[in-house]
């Protein structure tokens, strides 16, 4: 019989999982070629703006495969509705039967995205992080800060968002997480102070430019998960000493790398996968003055790994 698992039980299971470590293993497995991940399915809506992604796949030899559906409708908040939704389906790879329905309401997608940002920072950020800069003021901005606490001792943060009131609320929430948090007056001011920057917006035009970034900075971009979104200028990727992606194949179709290659500012042979860096740190940052960028578009292996970990935690009581 199919087991229906609701969000409160999922959250209790997550509390028993080392999610960052699970994401590290997932990325490494993907880069070793052990995972079957078909292209992303998606529906994009204009009025009201929204999106639905389907990400699915299987780790070869596993007993299960996973299908994840996630939605994002940013105007929902104005109507008092959640901006995110979704469900994760866990099937038997032996019989094809549906084993678990994880009614996560989009939470697992948000968590695995934040944990991936922590993995990128752990392996690519400069040794001494003086200030964390967060672009955006939504759920992911807060989660990125929360998970970065597990991989860096830095507790100074700057927040910038186009809506200053929302940014101020985000600053207050980061203070509750133990950060000395302030509002940045501009993207330039944020980049001038921070040497670890995370971009979490749904922008369709780049706002973080090459001229903003100082030597020694690492940037993790997580907002650009469709072909039409962009947060980083192509010239910034051209300037970077190291460009890391979660998936080479997927980065050619969506995300910051997609735009930089289309603008002839970057070539695919410069790309390194995050799983390759996890497995071999010599492929990562090599000097304190290097500029590194991680372009994370979200890969199904993350959903598979987290769903399996949740189900295992639930089975263990």
Q: What residue segments make up the domains of the chain, in order of their start? A: 3-108+301-315, 126-299
**Residue 77, pLDDT score:** 86
Radius of gyration of the chain from Cα atoms? Answer: 19
**Residue 223, pLDDT score:** 95
CA dihedral 234, 239, 242, 244 (to 10 degrees): -10
Distance CA 259, CA 224 (A): 10
CATH class, range 3-108+301-315 = alpha beta
**Residue 78, pLDDT score:** 87
Half-sphere exposure of 269 (CA within 13 A, CB side): 0
Residues 64-96 as b or e (16 or more Cβ within 10 Å = b): bbbbbbbbbbeebeeeeeebbbbbbbbbeeeee
Half-sphere exposure of 53 (CA within 13 A, CB side): 23
Contact 133, 160 (CB under 8 A): yes
Distance CA 167, CA 201 (A): 12
Longest dimension (CA), the chain: 57
* DSSP label of 40: P
Which residues, other chains included, contact 1 with Cβ-Cβ below 8 Å and sequence gap of 6+?
A: none
CATH class, range 126-299 = alpha beta
Contact 161, 74 (CB under 8 A): no
Angle between helices 107-124 and 300-315 (to 10 degrees): 110
**Residue 317, pLDDT score:** 62
Distance CA 123, CA 27 (A): 12
- Mean pLDDT, consecutive 10-residue stretches, the chain (317 aa), reads 96 97 98 96 93 96 97 91 94 98 97 98 97 97 98 98 96 98 98 98 96 97 94 98 98 97 98 98 94 98 98 89
Residue among 275, 298, 228, 316 nearest 68 (CA)? 298
pTM of the model: 0.95
Residue among 108, 34, 100 nearest 69 (CA)? 108
**Residue 316, pLDDT score:** 85
Give the bridge partners for 85, in sequence order: 71
* Ordered alpha helix ranges (H), 225-265: 234-239, 248-251, 256-262
**Residue 1, pLDDT score:** 85
**Residue 212, pLDDT score:** 97
Count of CB atoms situated within 10 Å of the CB of 32 = 12
């Amino acid at each position: 019989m199919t087991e229906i698992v609701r969000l409160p039980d999922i959250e209790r299971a997550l509390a028993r999982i080392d999610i960052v470590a699970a994401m590290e293993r997932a990325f490494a497995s993907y880069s070793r070629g052990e995972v079957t991940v078909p292209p992303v399915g998606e529906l994009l809506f204009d009025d009201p703006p929204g999106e639905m992604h389907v990400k699915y796949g299987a780790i070869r030899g596993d007993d299960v495969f996973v299908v994840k559906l996630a939605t994002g409708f940013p105007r929902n908040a104005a109507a008092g509705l959640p901006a995110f939704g979704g469900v994760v389906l866990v099937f038997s790879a032996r019989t094809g039967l549906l084993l678990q329905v994880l009614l996560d309401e989009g939470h697992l997608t948000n968590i695995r995205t934040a944990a991936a940002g922590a993995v990128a920072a752990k392996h690519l950020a400069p040794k001494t992080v003086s200030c964390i800069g967060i672009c955006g003021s939504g759920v992911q901005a807060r989660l990125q800060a929360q998970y970065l606490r597990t991989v860096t001792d830095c507790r100074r943060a700057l927040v910038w968002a186009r809506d200053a009131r929302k940014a101020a609320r985000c600053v207050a929430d980061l203070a509750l997480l133990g950060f000395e948090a302030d509002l940045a007056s501009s993207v330039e001011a944020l980049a001038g102070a921070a040497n670890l920057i995370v971009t979490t917006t749904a922008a369709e035009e780049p706002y973080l430019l090459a001229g903003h970034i100082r030597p020694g900075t690492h940037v993790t971009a997580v907002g650009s998960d469709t072909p039409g979104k962009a947060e980083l200028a192509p010239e910034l990727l051209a300037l970077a000493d190291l460009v890391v992606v979660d998936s080479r194949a997927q980065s050619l179709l969506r995300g910051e790398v997609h735009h930089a290659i289309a603008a002839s500012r970057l070539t695919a042979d410069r790309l390194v996968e995050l799983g390759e860096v996890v497995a071999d740190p010599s492929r990562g940052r090599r000097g304190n003055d290097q500029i590194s960028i991680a372009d994370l578009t979200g890969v199904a292996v993350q959903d598979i790994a987290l769903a399996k970990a949740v189900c295992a935690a639930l089975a263990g009581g």
